[in-house]
Amino acid sequence: MIDEYIKKWIIKADNDLKVAKNELSLDKQDTVTDAVCFHAQQAVEKRVYFCQVRNYSRLATIN
């Protein structure tokens, strides 16, 4: 169950990164920089969350 949950978060993180990259590929005057920053930050936050959940679940199986 937790593996499916983690996979969904990774997909969401990857999608946030795709949005940021797509926005950066636009002409400079068309790029919405606050959207780039928001989606990049969200991608990182979701990856950090993934690491925390993964490490917690690994520790829970050890104990």
Q: Domain spans of the chain? A: 2-62
Predicted structure pTM score: 0.77
With 0-12 CB in 10 A as exposed, 13-18 as middle and 19+ as buried, what is 28?
Answer: exposed
pLDDT of residue 9: 85
Q: Where is average pLDDT lowest: 15-19, 43-47, 50-54?
A: 50-54
Q: How far apart (Å, rounded) are the C-alpha atoms in residues 23 and 50?
A: 25
The arithmetic mean of pLDDT across residues 44-63, rounded, is 76
